[in-house]
Amino acid sequence: EPEVTQTPSHQVTQMGQEVILRCVPISNHLYFYWYRQILGQKVEFLVSFYNNEISEKSEIFDDQFSVERPDGSNFTLKIRSTKLEDSAMYFCASSDRGVDEQFFGPGTRLTVL
Amino acid sequence: AQTVTQSQPEMSVQEAETVTLSCTYDTSENNYYLFWYKQPPSRQMILVIRQEAYKQQNATENRFSVNFQKAAKSFSLKISDSQLGDTAMYFCAFMKHGSNYQLIWGAGTKLIIKP
């Protein structure tokens, strides 16, 4: 059964460094998302992406964040200059139609020291 | 802004029992979708059940069913004949129609099924 994959599973970085979190969505899906979950808090929406552009972003998704679909299969989230408060689990998701089930990856745990 | 509340941080029941997880939400929208997702330990989130707000009939998927009360803004999940494999975090989520499909999440309920 097709599934969403994410790499790495755990990323440790120093404050101020750039990180790229990678996701491979399900191949025929058209809608892509990033969410994050800070430990002990709710899952929060970051950004949705459709037709090679951002369709919506939350207040969290400031200029330090960017997304890209560089090659038609990968979907990446870049954080330009990480802060301590960026430490969280980051989930990628994809869906065939926007209102349908979103399929989630296993997450990347980002730790910023 | 929409909010989703899950008031039960943790629940535990014996195998084969029925358990109900509660979820309430706040919205002024009339057209939206509600979801229950399950996250087993160390595994990814998977959809359990989906409800469209314009449908009065409660959604069911095998042992999983919902009690959708639109006026009360309540969306509870009932698991019948619970199994050990149902042990997981359960998240209730809301999606506004035409919202570019972002999910708004509750805090989750940790469900433990005891043998």
pLDDT of residue B12: 97
Set of chain A residues whose Cβ sits within 8 Å of the Cβ of B100: 48, 50, 55-56, 98
User: Is A48 within 8 Å of B101 when comparing Cβ atoms?
Assistant: yes
CATH no. for A5-98: 2.60.40.10
Among the partner residues B43, B97, B105, nearest to A42 by beta-carbon distance? B105
pLDDT of residue A2: 85
CA dist., res. B105 & res. B25, Å (int): 10
The chain-wide mean pLDDT, for chain B, equals 94
| pLDDT tens digit sequence for B17-47 | 999 999 999 999 889 999 999 999 878 899 9
pLDDT of residue A101: 86
pLDDT grade for B111, boundaries at 50, 70 and 90:
very high
Residue A77 has pLDDT above 70, yes or no: yes
Place of tokens 């951002």: A54
| pLDDT tens digit sequence for B66-82 | 999 999 999 999 999 99
Residue A71 has pLDDT above 90, yes or no: no
Residue A34 has pLDDT above 70, yes or no: yes
User: Is A56 within 8 Å of B103 when comparing Cβ atoms?
Assistant: no
Q: How confident is the model over A42-69, as a mean pLDDT?
A: 94
pLDDT grade for B99, boundaries at 50, 70 and 90:
low
Report the amino acid identity of residue A86: D
Which one, of A57, A79, A78, A60, lies nearest residue A69 by Cα?
A78
Coil, strand or helix: which one is B38?
A: strand
CA dist., res. A75 & res. A93, Å (int): 10
| pLDDT tens digit sequence for B46-62 | 999 999 999 889 999 99
Cis peptide before A8 (omega within 30 of 0): yes
The pair of structure tokens assigned to A77 is 């989230």
Place of tokens 């035409």: B98
Percent of chain A with pLDDT over 70: 100
A15 lies within 8 A of chain B by CB: no
Task: Name all domains of chain B by residue range, CATH numbers in brackets.
Answer: 3-114 (2.60.40.10)
Locate the domains of chain A by residue range. 5-98
Residue A108 has pLDDT above 80, yes or no: yes
